[in-house]
Chain A
């Protein structure tokens, strides 16, 4: 018996040669699918995940960074392309293809109206995200709301959708895409196409691949997105001679609650407590300046820091003065009336933690505490000083949150040109293969992170790749 998502008619349809085959089912994939379908091409989207988990990391996003003039009702002010470019250069330290970066930013100005035409709804940012209201357009209901709208539009345009259809092989003949093979319910099906858009994300959920660069430490990584971001399509393309780009060893890693699920914990498992207290490793020792910079700016360094600690575990410790100053967590903190009791509950050496906290408290200098700016509360004389927001940890109850590295995305990708067309390792453009989204984001974001830029790259290159694939078929 055939499963409902793969009716008899669909099996017949797979015999045809599609104009555009899209591997992946996130923001970039759907932008490409809609663009190609609007150009009158026959399009099929093959998504490896079940319907609920469709869209990879898109389902955990919340907004898209766009240059705009501030006239949209949901935006709080203008964000000029020059400022966007400066922000990108700052976070990447120049590790970007400046031509592609400029083009991405210029074309980001089209995204608000274009996504709106595809049914995506935006809302004003509220609460704790107001600071991004000028630079980022917030999806109503978040990334899953966005992707739901794009899927509805794609379906209405006649785009074929296959779920639970991971790509297991690709037939690429000398840089020219012929077909790919998907596995549906243990059965292989060939999907033939006149062009390919690869939009299947990175390899952040592929623990074996992460281990190549991180060793056994990767066994203690938590993956913030779905388990389906395995990088299989990326691997096949690189094996077939597509030129790589981006650092193969690097991933975006933040500190998240160690009790988060192994996969797909998403945004709700983040923890904003670090700057308010101390962070110790399993030896009850501090290892980095918790007050180095404002929290959002330092968001991404703590994942890497904890990955380098023994057993990849750390503990954020605060006292009652700070417990209500950061975003509430879904996990209840470990709570105790004394530091040694807290250590006992955490499985740390009580004497060692007591010594660490006592030494920290003794080194705290007087200052005017203000967690909204780089204040003058600091320690002096410690091996690892805390340079801002240093307040003594001495008022019970004491609270601790266990932390582990949470992997968001990887940087390795395929090289593309300004049409979204892949570049082969001999430097020549691929005949009919395009890429969009995280699988090529490393061209623009070679390092670091800027909130919402993954969605910008995905939407801009999704449209380019969809148009490029459509044009190729016409020619």
Chain B
């Protein structure tokens, strides 16, 4: 009555725990993982990857569990599913070797990529005309790098990131047998933007201590909505440029700048908060592997915001050129790292939430 063909120790441990939890079921009110588990009796690799990507590692089930260590059953769902989840990021990365590379050296690789791009941009500008790099341009950064060049460069990199992530998610979707579940996207959007399942069914995260706290939810919201606002700033800027032929730089009270400032604040407060919480997290609840990809994403978001503010503040000074080069490098580095960094957790989580919403609606028992 157990799945004996699981490939890794991490999967086998998760399967062992799911059998214990499925016989207990006390945690069914805490999040989506346990109701999804209850719809199954057997747990194959796809099932475990699905359940692992539903888990927010909030720690509520560990704190509430009568079987957590030192009990001989040694039930530790947050850590076991974190290991399976991180393995799944590797397995689904495209191309696969990049996943492993980033997992081990994510921060170094990303920062080096960002600095290389920044140096390249600055170098090209310098090579063409040194005066441009350190000139005063009254905020008109297209004098440093023409709009067309910027658009092309970013479009290509973004396209690459989108393709790589689409292939990864498609692989995941097939493994968890997502099938028709994509129809449940409205429910999944709701669950994702509200972080419905982060926080132990309302008690809060016990990731740092036994006292439930809303801090992780708050800092995640800062990060998530900060990211969306920055994305909105860029999108509005693009629309202004192409549709209305309104050229940057925009005034401080313009939509792109307001979105950018608000989003930028989110991307400073959120990532710093999450990094602090990450350091404070109870080591029992974590994978215990050094996860460069985790940190790389947060650091790059923070740097994107900081360098973005740099461009805004210094746009009337001779420092605009080097600052802009640095900002562009960081943003490109962020884009390149997206398919291999922590960003992907949102994609897999969203896919898993779609499947979960569909399963809940059908109420079917999955054998």
Contact = CB atoms under 8 A, between A and B. Distances in A.
Interface in A302-349: 323-324, 327-330, 332-333, 335
A60 interface: yes
17 contacts: A52-B71, A59-B66, A121-B202, A123-B28, A123-B201, A126-B28, A127-B25, A127-B38, A128-B25, A142-B26, A266-B66, A268-B73, A270-B23, A323-B1, A324-B367, A328-B19, A333-B1
B61 interface: yes
Nearest to A141: B64
Contacts of B101: none
A90 B8 CA distance: 52
A60 B1 contact: no
Interface string A128-145: 110000000010111111
B224 interface: no
Contact of B71 (A126, A264, A330): A264
A170 B63 CA distance: 34
Contacts of B41: 324, 328
Interface residues of B, number: 35
Nearest to B201: A140
Contacts of B60: 141, 145
B35 interface: yes
Contacts, number: 101
A141 B30 contact: yes
B153 interface: no
Contact of A328 (B22, B26, B67, B201): B22
Contacts of B22: 328, 330
Interface in B181-207: 200-203
B63 A148 contact: yes
Contacts of B63: 141, 144-145, 148
Given A126-B28, A141-B27, A328-B22, A268 B67 contact: yes
Interface string B119-131: 0000000000000
Interface string B36-66: 0010010000000000000000001101111
Nearest to A122: B29
Contacts of B26: 62, 141-143, 145, 267
Interface in A395-435: none
Given A121-B201, A267-B26, A332 B2 contact: yes
A123 B61 CA distance: 14
Tier of interface size on chain A = 35 or more
Contacts of A330: 19-20, 22-23
B23 A268 contact: yes
B235 interface: no
Given A129-B25, A268-B20, A268-B24, 17 more contacts: A52-B70, A121-B202, A121-B203, A127-B25, A138-B29, A140-B29, A140-B201, A141-B30, A141-B201, A144-B63, A145-B26, A145-B203, A152-B211, A261-B72, A266-B66, A328-B1, A328-B23
A62 B201 CA distance: 16
B95 to A, nearest CB: 39
Nearest to B72: A261
B1 to A, nearest CB: 5
Interface in A35-81: 52, 59-60, 62
Interface of A: 52, 59-60, 62, 121, 123-124, 126-129, 138, 140-145, 148, 152, 261, 264, 266-270, 323-324, 327-330, 332-333, 335
A329 B203 contact: no
Interface of B: 1-2, 19-20, 22-30, 35, 38, 41, 60-61, 63-68, 70-73, 200-203, 210-211, 367
Nearest to A51: B210
Contacts of A141: 26-27, 29-30, 60-61, 63-64, 200-201, 203
- Specify which of B26, B30, B68, B73 lies most central, judged by the most chain A CB atoms within 10 Å of its CB: B26
B23 A123 contact: no
B30 to A, nearest CB: 6
- Specify which of B27, B29, B67, B200 lies most central, judged by the most chain A CB atoms within 10 Å of its CB: B29
A214 B13 CA distance: 39
B29 A124 contact: yes
B24 A126 contact: no
Contacts of A324: 41, 367
A205 to B, nearest CB: 15
Contacts of A335: 1
A140 B367 CA distance: 27
Contacts of B210: 148, 152
Contacts of A332: 1-2
Contacts of B30: 123, 140-141
Contacts of A148: 63-64, 210
Contacts of B200: 140-141
Contacts of A145: 26, 60, 63-64, 203
A327 B28 CA distance: 15
A142 B66 contact: yes
9 shortest interchain CB distances as A-B pairs: A123-B29, A141-B64, A142-B26, A145-B64, A268-B24, A268-B23, A330-B23, A126-B28, A59-B66
B203 A266 contact: no
- Specify which of A124, A127, A269 lies most central, judged by the most chain B CB atoms within 10 Å of its CB: A127
Contacts of A140: 29-30, 64, 200-203
